[in-house]
Structure 1
Amino acid sequence: MSQAVGKISSPRTVVVIGATNEVGKAVARVLTGRGHIVRGVARSLGVALDYSDALASAFSGADSAYVMIPFDVTAPDLHRFEDEVSERLAAVIAKSGVRRVVLLSGLNAHLRMGTSLGAALMEDRLAALGLDELVFLRASFFMENFAKGMGFVRQAASGIFMTPFRGDLPMPLIAASDLGQRAAALLDATRFPSERIIELHGGGYYTFEQATTILGSAMGRQVTYKAAPFTEARAGMIANGLSPSFADALGETAASFNKGERWALEAPSIRNATPTTFESWAQAFARSQSAA
């Protein structure tokens, strides 16, 4: 879906959940550039998901929203947290009268488990609202997970990168900025698509072994990938500050991937591809590390 050029004559008022993360920033940047009014929701902006009055104010009078269920990697009960957030968001959307919603969901949300369960719960609640225009944007594994959630830089210092995911199975990888641009294009569109689910597979399919070599080479390091037993990986995640609940959810996701369960419902195509390859993302990330 291409982004139109130039500003519009009839701006929308769009609420952007998670406006300070990589995807949310891209959504807000594109929509603001197109002349829309963006209301960001993020704790650092003074509008957190648990600030009921501020959240209701952000949605009041809005006609569109980009919605996501944030990960709380320290939540004592991850799925309870996700359920509470999805219930709160659905209630405020229903009360506000917002008619166009784009939800960031997971490519494997149909499996209703692991780290995509929260998105699946939100899909259910939004579907029940009878919105005029609603899309579940089911995205693949974020390239940024290597830098943040999985700690590639820290692990690369030892020459070995470990996660609980198999190293020999191709994984579709997507850049957050590409996802943000696609979400913004949907919110900006004159004609909203009729399909409820839109898959985004990203910039290509890579095994964890390939991704490790690519990112290590971009950073000037020789790094070997190792698939760790979940018990070992879980202990490491908890030692690094993740809650046991979040670690177990990630373990469910890894187990699903390792068994070869079908995540994407569509075959890879131009329609569900995005422009940033993992090679180009890795080079950009390596440059950002050198400049830091």
Structure 2
Amino acid sequence: MKTIKSFFVLVRWEYMPSAINETGIPALLALLFIPFSSQYVFNVIMSLLIWYGAHFIGAQINNISDYNADKKFKSYISDTIDYFGVKKVKWMIIIEALIVSVLTIGMSVIRKQPMLVILWLVGLFFACAYSMKPFNFKSRTVMNPITLALVLYLIPMLFSYLLISGSFHELSVITIIIFGIQMVPMFFMDEISDYEEDKEANVMNPCVTFGRRKTIMIATIIGIVSNMAMLFYWFFYISQNSSFKMIFFITALIFYAFVIFDFILIYRMSEPTLLKDEKKLMKLKKSIYTPVWLMGTGLATLLLIFERWVK
């Protein structure tokens, strides 16, 4: 039981529900162009399995890279490295990479889409380059959020969509690109709670470079613009006027607004004079609900797509 629990901590189980975004959005988009069938279900399941394998790999690579910092500030993660041992974790990564590679090659043959292999290799490169030298994009201010957007959303979602639908469609690709931009603020906000740790470790991510308040402001602006882009794209160019469909649209708007209002609240909490109080600093750190924001934004986007899918 301890081994299973340690493994799920190691692969950051709290982010695993995000598969609803990475596979759910492409799967629902695909239904706008292909019929529901047993083949469709099989492709969705394979997409989900490959996503989880890739997620495990990325999380483990990042945890090995962050071992020393986690030892001080997130010992529950570094403890899992100690439990398994670095050598065993590296072997786990190699085995997982081989399994995902075999599945990807197999599906590329079945779907007659060699682009699946290319997307997998590009994604694997960025997953490694984010945390590992000589690239270490995590510590390169602009490359930090760009790499995360690519490796966590754009590449996996394009991969899933291509695997499920068999080809790309303009509507779906644009939606996935906008969604990838919507995720950028989440990466900025996720760093707010780790500011002290990252600064001590000399990790020059946006939060350390710009400071907490500017980072939150940038995240809020990008969030507002990208959310409006998604809403306008689906409302003015896709949606058909009907009261029933407007319920989905308004609900999606509420989900987006909830996330932005949370950002604004955290901005107010991040006043430097307030953070001199240790209790208020800890309250700020505990107010970073990245998995919730990810799910809220993802559910809003799913509602917009579902609104179009329902006849």
TM-score under structure 1 normalisation?
Answer: 0.30
Structure having the larger proportion of residues in helix: 2
Instruction: Give 1 or 2 for the bigger CA radius of gyration.
Output: 2
Structure having the larger proportion of residues in strand: 1
TM-score under structure 2 normalisation?
Answer: 0.29
